[in-house]
Amino acid sequence: MQPSVRVFCSCLGLALAVPWCGSLSQSVENGSALAPPVIATRVSVPAPVRAEPVAPWIQALLDTTAAGGVRAANVRLGLLAAAEVRQFFGAGYVPAWTPLTDSLNSDATAALARLARATEYGLRPADYHQSRLRALRDSLAHPPDPGAPAVRARQQAALEVYLSDALLRLMRDLSRGRLHSYTPTAREKVAGSAGQPAAVLRAALAAHRVPEAINEAQPTNREYRQLQRALVRWLASPPTPTRRPCSRRATSKWPSTWSAGAGIQ
């Protein structure tokens, strides 16, 4: 090849290489050169937990046929106001205290708080499923097991039944007293079916005023109100008994415990 031809080829190659190098350097500056290829990846999304209907479990708990009768069913469950609980749920057995998210709603939280303060009415929280309700509340506070939706539904149904039972019995005890819990008051007779505990609780739940309905179940006479307010003050700052010098025999008669519920029946 003649020298002039070689010079021409070299110049042509150099002329072609300069634009390519310029475009490469520009690509590097823009961050697009040598970029790894985009590979589509599939993101694994966990399947939602399948919710188990709660109404059939409530119905199964309150069923009297399988248990061999009403009395046998009530004894098995240990209900305090079985007839009122069945009236409260009716034929639909729709959950009242646990929404679709299977956690306690605000009405249930307020109701549990009011039950824990039963001593303010001269009553004992332990008489209203306190331990059982606390355990159920704690169980529902944990995330549900995706592989066992029926377990969650049974827990919800149990809380529905026992919370309703505790509230209905508390309202009945406040209205009628524990000594005459099966005798309707004059106020209930005047109100008719709308004044029964199940109807009152259902209406209070619809209006989101369950604690107010519990307070309204108390007697309205002045003597009771004065005694109840005095009990609340006493519970807020209980007096400390002062021991006085006395004989050993007299000291042994000093009360060792103080019953907050002894004043009101």
For 181-202, the pLDDT digits (tens) are 777 777 777 777 778 889 999 9
Judge whether 15 lies within some domain: no
Judge whether 1 lies within some domain: no
**Across residues 160-176, what is the average pLDDT?**
95
| Overall domain count for the chain | 1
Tokens encoding 5: 């031809």
pTM for the complete prediction? Answer: 0.70
Judge whether 231 lies within some domain: no
pLDDT value at residue 244: 61
Q: How many Cβ atoms are within 10 Å of 18's Cβ, its own excluded?
A: 10
Judge whether 152 lies within some domain: yes
Q: Mapping DSSP to helix (H, G, I), strand (E, B) and coil, where does residue 98 land?
A: coil
Q: What gap in Å lies between CA 9 and CA 25, rounded to an integer?
A: 24
For 35-88, the pLDDT digits (tens) are 555 555 555 544 455 578 999 999 999 998 887 889 889 889 999 999 999 999
pLDDT value at residue 105: 93
Q: What gap in Å lies between CA 93 and CA 83, rounded to an integer?
A: 14
φ, ψ of residue 262 to 5 degrees: the values are -80, -20
170 pLDDT exceeds 90? yes
| Residue range(s) defining the domain that contains residue 111 | 55-223
Judge whether 9 lies within some domain: no
Judge whether 238 lies within some domain: no
Judge whether 20 lies within some domain: no
Judge whether 258 lies within some domain: no
